[in-house]
Chain A
Amino acid sequence: MSLRWVFRGGVAAPHRKNTYESESSVINTPEKVIIPMVQHIGAPCTPTVKQGDEVKVGQIIGNSEAYVSAPIHSSVSGTVTRVEPMLYASGKLVMSVEIKTDGKQEVYDGISPPEVKNRDDFLKAIRNSGLVGLGGAGFPTHVKLNPPKDKEIDCLIINGAECEPYITSDYREMVENPSSVINGVKLVLDYLNIPKAIIGIEDNKPNAVRLLTELAASDKRISVQSLRSRYPQGAEKTLIYTVTGRKVPSGKLPADVGCIVLNVNTVSFIASYIETGMPLVKRRVTVDGPVVNQPKNVVAPIGTSLQDLFDFCGGFKSTPYKVLMGGPMMGIAQYSLETSVIKNTNAILAFDRKEGDLPSEWPCIRCGRCIEACPMNLMPLEINRLVMANKTDELERYHILDCIECGSCSFSCPSKRHLVQSIRIGKDAVRRVKVNRN
C-alpha cells in the first residue's frame, strides 16, 4: 500500500453496527407515501401532479428548471390525495405530495434504459434519474459530476467509510451488490475521463474490502483502500485527505483539489439506472436503536413514513423518546413519526430516555479535548464561549465557518457542553453579518 495519511483528531465513537448481518428486506408497499419536494441541496421542485391524478412508479411528480436540483419521481402507483405543505424531516413544513397506493406497483410507461453515448448524455441521464448524494447532504449528483471546466479531476473517490455508529446501509450495498458498485465506478471513470478511482472503506468492514478488492482487480484504474476506523473518517474532507493526502482549502470544494467524492450507494445506483432506467424511487434504510424490536436493513419506497418502517421492524420495545433520521453523530431528531424517508435517509434510529436525553451542561474546564477531537483543527470551546457572549465579530478569527458539524467536540466534552449547537448558531450569525455587509 502506498503512503498513508492520517487525519488529525476525531473520536473513537462506538460502532454499534448491529445490522451488519441483516440482509436487506423489502417493506410491503405502505398504504400511503408522502414525498416532499425538497430532497436535495439546491432549488426545491414544484409538484407536476395535482390531487386526484393517477401516478405510477417512476413517474415524475416534481421538477425544477434550476440547474442545482433533481427531479422527484413517484415511488408507488396510486392516486394523489394531497398536494400541500407537510411536516418535513427538518421540522419545517415543505410542499409535499401524498399518494394513496393501489398496491399494484405498476411501472410508468416511459421507463427504459437511457441511451448514453457520451459525457453529456451521461450527465443528462443522471439528472433524469433524480439521483442525489445518498450518503449525506444530498447534493445533486449530476452537478457534482460536472465541475467547472478549469478544474481537472484526476481522482474519483468512493466513500464506503460509513463511520457513523449504527448505520450499515452502505455496507450492505457493498456486500449485496458489489459488482454494481464497481460497474458504477467504471461508468463514471469512462464517461468523465477520470484516470483513477479509490474506494475507501473503514477496516471494520473486512468483507466489503475483500469483495470489492477482488472485483476491482480486473480494472487497473480502481483500487480499494482499507481505512482506519475512526470517526469522522467518512467526512468528505477527511476522506480526501486520508486517501490522497490533499487538503481541500477552507471554503473550497473537492474539485479544487482534483477530486470527486461519491457514496457507494450513489455510484451503485448509477450502474442500476443506466441498466434499467428506473429512477431513484426507493432506498435502503438501516432501522435500529435500543428500543426497536428487530433492527434491520429495509428497502423502502421514498416517502414511506417512519412509523411504517418501525412497524415493519416489529415496532418498539418501549415508547421511543427520541427518533433520529441519520446517525447519532450528525442525524436530525424528528418531531413526528409521520415524516417520511427521503433520498438521502440512510438510517432511522429510535432511542429511549436514557440514551436520548440531552445531558445538562457543566462549566467548561478548558481540558482541550474538543480541540484534540476536532478534525478541522478548530477551538470549539472558544467558539462556544464567544457565541454565548454574542461576540459574533470575533468568531471568524476562530475559523467558525470551517466547522463541518461532525459532533466530535460535543462527543468528547467531559462537561457535556452543547458545542456543535452553539457553533451552528454562531455560523448563522456570521453569515447574516456577511450578507448584511454586502
Chain B
Amino acid sequence: MENRLYVCSSPHLRDNVTTQRIMLDVIIALLPAAAAGIVYFGLRSAIIIVTTVAASVLTEYLMRKGLKREQTISDLSAVVTGLLLALNLPPSIPVWIAVVGAVIATGLIKQLFGGLGQNFMNPALGARVILVVAWAKQMTTWTEPFVDTVAGATPLGLLDATATATPIGAAYSYMDMFLGRTPGCIGETSALAILLGFVYLLFRKVISWHIPVLFTGTVAVLTWILGPEGLFTGDPLYHVLAGGLLLGAVFMATDYVTCPMTRKGIIIYAAGCGILTTLFRLYGNMPEGVSFAIVLMNVVTPLIDRYTIPVAFGGEKHVE
C-alpha cells in the first residue's frame, strides 16, 4: 500500500487568517500609540516598552518550559501583552515594577490559567490593576510631556481635584488631549494615535466597531447626564479624550479571550464597561476607572456568554 491517500474530515479548505497574523496586526495597530508615548515622554518610554515586552516573552518561554508544554512564544501574544502593559504604565515607573507587572500578566494571569485563550481577564490590565494597588504612588506619578519633570495631575486628576464645572479653562485643551500633550500613561494620552490603530484594526477586520463605540458612547452619554452641576451639564468630550478610555476601549476591552462573542453579549459587556468606568471616575476615590471596569466585565464574560446563546436559524418558534 504505497501511495496512501490522506483522509480527514471536511472542510479541506482554510482561510489564510492565522492567530499569529492577528497578533501581528494588533502590534502594528499599537505602534502609533507607542510612538506617541516615546515622542511625548522621551526615551524612558522606549525603555519601559522594551523591558515589558522582553519580560513578558521571557516569562512565557520559561513558564512553558517549566510546565513542559509546547512553546508558544511564536504566536506573538506575549509580545502583545508586554506592549499593552507598557502603554498602560506611567513613563516614570521604576523598571523593576514594570518587570513585575509583565511577570504577573504573562505568568500569573495567562500561563497559570492555561496560556493563550484561557486567561480569565486581560493579562495586561489585570497586571496594571495589581500594580496600581500595590505601588499606588509610583503608578500615579506623572510626567509632563516633552520635559522630564513631575507633573501636577492628569486631565482626569485635574477634574477630580478641582471638580470645576468646565475643565476647558483648565490646563489642557481638547487639542492637547487629542494629540496627547498631557501627562498620563505612555500609550493612553494621544487619542489620534489610538484612533489610527483603531482604523487599522477595523480595516484588517481584526475587531468590529461595536465594543469601542458602545463603550465610549456609554461613558460619553453618562458623563454628560451626570454632570457636576446637575443633570446634563457634563463634558462628554473631555471624558472621552481624557485618561485611558480610548486605549482601553479600542485595545483592551476588545481582547477576544475576555469579551463576549455574540451581538447581544457584546452590547451588555460594552455598556457594562461604560457604566462602571463612569461610576469609578465620577464617584470613586481614584480619578481613573477604565482598567477596573474592563477587568470586572472580563470576569463576568463567561456568565454573559452563557446567557446570550443565540437562537439558531429557524429555531425562533421552538423556545424551550
Contact = CB atoms under 8 A, between A and B. Distances in A.
Interface of A: 8, 11, 13-14, 91, 165, 237, 241, 247-252, 319-324, 326, 328-337, 351, 353, 355-359, 362-369, 371, 375-379, 381-382, 397-399, 402, 405, 407, 410-416, 418, 420-421, 424
Contact of A420 (B9, B75, B310): B9
Contact of B11 (A320, A335, A397, A410): A410
Given A363-B115, A365-B116, A366-B261, A414 B19 contact: yes
Contacts, number: 164
B145 to A, nearest CB: 35
Contact of A250 (B72, B75, B315): B315
A324 to B, nearest CB: 6
Nearest to B118: A363
B34 to A, nearest CB: 22
A329 B316 CA distance: 27
Contacts of B15: 11, 411-414
Interface string B10-42: 111111011101100000000000000000000
B262 A379 contact: yes
Nearest to A249: B314
Which residue among B72, B117, B262, B312 has the maximum number of chain A CB atoms within 10 Å of its CB? B312
Nearest to A412: B15
Contacts of A367: 22, 256
B286 interface: no
A330 B5 contact: no
B13 A165 contact: yes
A124 B184 CA distance: 81
- The binding surface of chain B is classed by DSSP as loop
Contact of A333 (B3, B7, B14, B315): B7
Which residue among A247, A328, A414, A418 has the maximum number of chain B CB atoms within 10 Å of its CB? A414
Given A366-B261, A405-B10, 9 more contacts: A249-B314, A322-B12, A329-B13, A330-B10, A333-B5, A364-B117, A377-B315, A411-B15, A414-B22
A397 B319 CA distance: 11
A320 B310 CA distance: 41
- The binding surface of chain A is classed by DSSP as loop
Interface residues of B, number: 40
A356 B10 CA distance: 11
A424 B9 contact: yes
B9 A399 contact: no
25 contacts: A8-B313, A247-B314, A249-B317, A322-B8, A328-B13, A329-B10, A329-B12, A330-B10, A331-B10, A356-B6, A363-B118, A365-B117, A366-B257, A368-B261, A377-B315, A378-B310, A379-B261, A399-B309, A405-B10, A407-B10, A410-B11, A410-B14, A415-B19, A420-B9, A424-B9
A383 B13 CA distance: 21
Contacts of A358: 6, 8
Given A377-B310, A410-B14, A371 B261 contact: yes
A188 B75 CA distance: 56
Contacts of A424: 9
Which residue among B9, B12, B314 has the maximum number of chain A CB atoms within 10 Å of its CB? B12
A323 B11 CA distance: 13
Contact of B256 (A250, A366, A399): A366
Given A321-B6, A362-B75, A379-B262, A414 B21 contact: yes
Given A332-B10, A399-B315, A379 B309 contact: yes
B262 to A, nearest CB: 6
B133 interface: no
A205 to B, nearest CB: 20
Contact of B314 (A14, A250, A322, A356): A250
B22 to A, nearest CB: 6
B110 to A, nearest CB: 11
Nearest to A415: B19
B68 interface: no
Contacts of A405: 10
B256 A365 contact: yes
Contacts of B21: 414
A337 B2 CA distance: 13
Contact of B5 (A322, A329, A331, A399): A322
B6 A418 contact: no
B6 A333 contact: yes
Nearest to B116: A363
Nearest to B315: A250
Nearest to B4: A335
B147 interface: no
- The 5 closest A-B CB pairs, nearest first, are A407-B11, A368-B261, A421-B9, A399-B312, A328-B13
Nearest to B23: A365
